[in-house]
Structure 1
Amino acid sequence: MAEKYGISEAELNLIKVQAARRATMRQEFMKQKTHPWKHAAEAGYVFDPAIQKFMSMKVTQFDNFTPNKRTSLFGFGAIILPMFVYGYFVWKDRTDREKKIRSGELRYKDRMFKLA
């Protein structure tokens, strides 16, 4: 039966189990969220310890950062190197265009930026 969807029977059962787990978690959350007296002290929201740990981690990640070889190489490869490569290509394009203009290979009517 499950082969008509392009997945095996085990994968279909796994999907069904995950959907059932999500439904029970959603039902429990809605039960807690709509309880009129349970969360009155916490300004009406459901306290989730996992979300609190994640938010605390995001706030203190710069305090706990230690530079090492891996982070330095990542910073160099993700920030500094692309800037220099892009700058080189812009410089090369401009110098080649200027050289063609000054030597007369590129006519005025064929230029990209012109006044008339």
Structure 2
Amino acid sequence: MSWLQQRQDVLAENVANADTPRYAARDLESLDLSKYVNEGRKIRPVRTDVSHMTLDSAGGAPRIVSTSSFETTPSGNSVALEEEMMKVAQTQMDYQLASGLYARSVSVLKTALGRA
């Protein structure tokens, strides 16, 4: 969730600088959760349906990287607002999913402890 919050900050900075000359759009480097799955255990999730989520997010300290865009304004700005808004929406959905799963797991633990 921390990575998603930091990504929203970087994307908001991109949108805020959409008119700044020679500003290059940035994003966080994707984190690789598979290294956490493989540490200590040899358990791998199996995708049995196309609607299942995959582990294509990241782990570790996020690194800000420049993104490449097909659009560049005459002033040299590479921020495409449509692309940034799509990234913001996807990040928001990912955050809502993570917080929903966390809330549900807390609820299950409370039920198991008899504190529901």
**TM-score between the two structures when normalised by the length of structure 2:** 0.28
Q: Work out which structure has the larger RCO, using CA pairs closer than 8 Å and 6 or more positions apart in sequence.
A: 2
**TM-score between the two structures when normalised by the length of structure 1:** 0.28
